[in-house]
Amino acid sequence: MDTAASQSSSSSSSIMFYDFLDKMRNPASLNLVKSIKSFIVSFQFSSANPENDSKRVQEFFSTMEAAIMEHPLWAGATDDEFDCSMEGLEKYIMTKLFSRTFAISPEDVKIDQEISEKIHLLQSFLRPEHLDIPPFLQNEASWLLAEKELQKINAFRAPREKLHCIMSCCRIINNLLLNASMSENHVPGGADDFLPVLIYVTIKANPPQLHSNLKYIQLYRRQEKMVSEPAYYFTNLVSAKSFIGQLDAKSLSMDEIEFEESMQAAKLDSKVSQVEASQAQTDPIFSTRMRGMKTNIDGRSNYPYMEAEPGELTVEDVERLLSLYKDVVTKYSSLCRAVRHRSATRTEPSLPVPKGRDDILLQLEGQAQMIREEKAEVSDTPKDAEALSAQKVDGFQFNLM
């Protein structure tokens, strides 16, 4: 249902845009076209400053809104028709200025990369229960729909369409939570239920350039449209992004040592994947051999170079082996540090005393006596050997005590 609504909204957006373009092609709108083109050219040649740029764009939208309202082409137009024209104007302007306004700051690019990398690590071990999402609200199969909507955000350039991806994602989550609450007779918890699920969906989706997309919408979406439901959902995703950026063990229902170990393991896996990807680019044959690693039926390994002789190795093989060696040493050192840290912070639990100890001791005594008697019947066992055997049994009894 939400997917159908998303497609309907996308179609509606296209109709609005082409309707706006049709009006701009009318000779009567020549003055409006000149104003729009003049603004675009002057904006593109000015130095970038996100805050000032946002102010300029918003002021231009207000100026054009007044001009369109008074223009003869819109005489007798309904509020919806007028709003469609303004949406078309926003899309046209921001599509033209997209490369000049989206992710232009090195700091924004850095934040995007850091968030994406952190989310990639969290994806390998984070579970809904770590965010205190109740079991009856967990529905990962259906959450996939929300994830896919959020992942579409980079497919669009207009702020309205990017915001629509966020709203579609949030509406799916909200509907699923309402249905789950109704089936369990649970009073909906509002943001207390919604935000943890949105955080989890965002982590699973790992939408591209999340920070830059949110900043772009905030700066260039028409301000009068950032109210009510769009503002609520947008604010929640901003909160989710901030939470993920600052996330640590204390933010989750997870042991701190377990969290650190999981993050370290995820980093190692990520590094191995990067090495393999690099090798795949430089040597497709080597990549194929690495992917073909497996164990034969007789237990022998098919790892590269296992069956090679020294004289068969080339200079390139030595370079690859050195790279693999360094990776193994790095991984081994990290694991050793993790084990030492774990040993230092966790005490070894004592072995429990077995139940029925007296019964066990009596049984062992009986078995020892039977052994001594059998040995006496078969051969003349020396007294000192028999005594030594008894000492061993007594010693075993002492260890059990």
Distance of CA 225 to the CA centre of its chain: 29
Same domain, 157 and 259: yes
pLDDT in tens, 23-63: 899 999 999 999 999 999 999 999 999 999 999 999 999 99
Give the chain's domain count. 2
Residue 64 lies in a domain: yes
Residues 132 and 96 in one domain: no
If asked whether residues 119 and 254 sit together in one domain, one would say yes
For residues 178 and 188, is the Cβ–Cβ distance under 8 A?
A: yes
> Domain check: are 114 and 258 in the same one?
yes
Expressed as residue numbers, the domain containing 171 is: 106-267
- Please compute Rg for the chain using Cα positions: 34
Same-domain status, 38 and 186: no
- Confidence (pLDDT) at 401: 39
* Of 46, 65, 100, the domain-final residue: 100
Q: In Å, how far from its chain's centre is CA 365?
A: 61
Asked whether residue 121 falls in the same domain as residue 86, the answer is no
Count Cα neighbours of 324 within 13 Å in the Cβ-side half-sphere.
14
**CATH code where residue 218 lies:** 1.20.1050.80
Residue 375 located in a structural domain: no
Among residues 76, 100, 124, which one ends one of the domains? 100
Same domain, 66 and 117: no
Residue 81 lies in a domain: yes
- 122 within domain boundaries: yes
pLDDT in tens, 67-110: 999 999 999 889 999 999 999 999 999 999 999 999 999 999 99
76 plus 215 within the same structural domain: no
| 195 and 253 housed in the same domain | yes
Q: For residue 152, is it within any domain?
A: yes
254: phi then psi, degrees, rounded to nearest 5: -155, 140
DSSP string for 192-241? HHHHHHHHHHHHHH--TTHHHHHHHHHHHS-GGGSSHHHHHHHHHHHHHH
In a shared domain, residues 123 and 138 = yes
The domain boundary, picked from 246, 267, 288, lies at: 267
- The 3-state DSSP class for residue 301 equals strand
Whole-number Å distance between alpha carbons of 308 and 114: 41
Burial of 159 (0-12, 13-18, 19+ CB in 10 A): buried
Within this chain, do residues 260 and 116 fall inside the same structural domain, yes or no? yes
Residues 138, 262: one domain? yes
Model-wide pTM > 0.75: no
What residues contact 321, with CB distance under 8 A and at least 6 apart? 305, 313
Q: Give 320-350 pLDDT, tens digit per residue.
A: 777 777 777 777 777 777 667 666 555 444 4
Distance of CA 253 to the CA centre of its chain: 17
* pLDDT one digit per residue (tens) for the chain, 401 residues: 455 555 555 556 677 788 888 889 999 999 999 999 999 999 999 999 999 999 999 999 999 999 999 999 999 889 999 999 999 999 999 999 999 999 999 999 999 999 999 999 999 999 999 999 999 999 988 999 999 999 999 999 999 999 999 999 999 999 999 998 888 777 776 888 999 999 999 999 999 999 999 999 999 999 999 999 999 999 999 999 999 999 999 999 999 999 999 999 999 888 777 776 666 666 655 555 555 544 443 444 445 566 667 766 777 677 777 777 777 777 777 777 766 766 655 544 444 444 455 555 556 566 666 666 655 554 444 444 444 444 444 443 434 33
